[in-house]
């Protein structure tokens, strides 16, 4: 379950009712939180398992607000727990492993994960958080990891970035065990539960000697999974590396499905539209991923044959001698949307794919109506 929140901003120039501020406060819209289910072994996208929307209050909370007052009002960090509870425990002998970024580094999120019998691989936000070590002493998380031996090393090839040439980074891996105690920051409701400290492991990935002037690569993860062998640690790191899929999904929804430019005028109607588009975005992302990971896979194993027939009818010069692959199908959909597909064009962007997809859906709808009219 890869989770993240994104801002759905409908801009500041339109008149929309029943929405909240977004971004730095000048935009209007809402926060959308998604949990995308991905097969841990194949990394294939299974769908959206849970989703919720939250509105930021129009009035900023007062700076003089006490801790108790802050914990009593609805907070944005609760959005993670809402979706965890909505999805619930794993079904049918499966295991749900949550993968979340720093936004989920919060005691209450771990409580909900434990209550729902789920596992997790979450990024650490506060490296200096006080936790309990194996002896039950209160120490900083960073200290536990500093004191632990190196579990293994590996090399990572990094692509060139602006002002940074491509390089190979030597990465060191350390792990530690800890228990996270109830913090003073917890709300009265959570404190009343009087929960025991939550036992988990931490994995620290770092580049000990990075070139001068380059910020060393570093991440710290919390996980409920075992870290007994290097293979297990490796799997945990790989799971976190799959997190970018949710960012790509949000791009499919925003740049692709164009949710921000829909002209509906109230929050509830925009919510319904985002719900519908969330399904379309799963399809688009699934196609894009398969076009990259299994380009030779026959398109008929992914999309209905009516779609293929219509695409072949409308794109006259499509080679029909061989079976259409998913990669060709994806590119042909983009071409319907204006993608030229020259050698220098690379892969189609979200906007052209969306335009082609919308056109194809209209053609499919027309064909279905024609069959009904017959
Ligand atoms: Mn995030």
CA of 5 to the centre of ligand 1 (A): 5
Residue 185 φ/ψ region, left for φ over 0, alpha for ψ in the -120 to 50 degree band, beta for the rest: alpha
Ligand 1 centroid from CA 347, angstroms = 26
For residue 24, report the distance from its CA to the centre of ligand 1, in Å.
16
| Shared domain check, 226 and 137 | yes
Average pLDDT over residues 66-92: 85
Residues 230 and 329 in one domain: no
Per-residue pLDDT of 264-284, as tens digits, reads 888 899 999 999 999 999 999
Separation of 247 CA from ligand 1 center, angstroms?
9
Considering the domain architecture, whether residues 148 and 229 belong to the same structural domain is answered as yes
Report helix, strand or coil for 190.
Answer: helix
- Shared domain for 230 and 299, answered yes or no, is no
pTM reported for the whole predicted model:
0.90
Q: Which of 217, 234, 251 is the last residue of a domain?
A: 234
Number of domains in the chain: 2
Determine the Cα–Cα distance for residues 293 and 35; give it in Å rounded to an integer.
22
Residue list, CB under 5 A from ion ligand 1:
4, 101, 103
Q: How confident is the model at residue 320 (pLDDT cuts 50, 70, 90)?
A: low
Hey, which residues does 100 pair with through a beta bridge? 122
Q: How far is the CA of 114 from the centre of ligand 1 (A)?
A: 21
CA of 312 to the centre of ligand 1 (A): 40
DSSP string computed for 130-177: EEE-TTS-EEEHHHHHHTSPEEEEEEEEE--BTTB--EEEEEEEEEEE
Task: Give 294 Cα–ligand 1 centroid separation in angstroms.
Answer: 29
Ligand 1 centre to CA of 366 (Å) is 40
The CATH number of the domain where 161 resides is what? 3.90.350.10
Determine, yes or no, domain membership for 86: no
Domain residues for the domain of 151 are 120-234
Q: Are residues 229 and 128 in the same domain?
A: yes
For residue range 60-73, what is the model confidence (pLDDT) as tens digits?
Answer: 667 777 777 776 77
Residue 179 pLDDT exceeds 90 = yes
User: Which among 269, 151, 276 has a CA at the least distance from the CA of 202?
Assistant: 151
Contact 333, 315 (CB under 8 A): no
């Amino acid at each position: 379950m890869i989770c993240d929140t994104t801002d759905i901003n409908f801009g500041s120039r339109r008149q929309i009712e029943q929405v909240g501020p977004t971004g730095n406060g000048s935009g209007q819209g809402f926060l959308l939180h998604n949990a995308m289910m991905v097969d841990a072994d194949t990394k294939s996208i299974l769908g959206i398992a849970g989703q919720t929307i939250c509105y930021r209050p129009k009035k900023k909370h007062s700076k003089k607000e006490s801790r108790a007052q802050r914990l009593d009002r609805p907070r944005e960090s609760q959005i993670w727990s809402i979706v965890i509870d909505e999805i619930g425990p794993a079904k049918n002998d499966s295991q749900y492993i949550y993968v979340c970024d720093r936004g989920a580094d919060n005691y209450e999120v771990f409580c909900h994960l434990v209550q729902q019998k789920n596992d997790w691989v979450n990024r650490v936000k506060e490296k200096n958080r006080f936790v309990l070590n194996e002896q039950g002493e209160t120490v900083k998380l960073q200290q536990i990891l500093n004191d632990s031996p190196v579990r293994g090393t590996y090399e990572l090839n990094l692509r060139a970035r602006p002002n940074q040439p491509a390089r190979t980074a030597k990465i060191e891996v350390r792990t530690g065990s800890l228990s996270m105690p109830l913090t003073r920051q917890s709300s009265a409701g959570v404190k009343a539960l009087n929960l025991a400290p939550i036992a988990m492991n931490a994995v620290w990935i770092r580049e000990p000697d990075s070139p001068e002037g380059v910020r060393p690569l570093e991440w710290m993860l919390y996980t409920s999974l075992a870290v007994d062998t290097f293979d297990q640690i490796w799997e945990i790191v790989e799971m976190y590396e799959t997190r970018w899929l949710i960012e790509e999904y949000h791009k499919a929804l925003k740049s692709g499905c164009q949710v921000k430019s829909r002209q509906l005028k109230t929050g509830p109607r925009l919510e319904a539209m985002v719900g519908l588009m969330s399904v379309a975005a799963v399809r688009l992302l699934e196609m894009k991923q398969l076009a990259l990971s299994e380009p030779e896979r026959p398109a008929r194993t992914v999309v209905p044959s009516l779609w293929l027939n219509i695409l072949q009818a409308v794109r006259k010069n499509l080679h029909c001698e061989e079976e259409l692959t998913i990669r060709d199908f994806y590119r042909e959909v983009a071409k319907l949307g204006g993608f030229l597909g020259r050698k220098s064009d690379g892969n189609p962007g979200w906007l052209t794919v969306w335009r082609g997809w919308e056109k194809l859906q209209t053609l499919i709808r027309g064909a279905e109506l024609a069959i009904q009219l017959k």
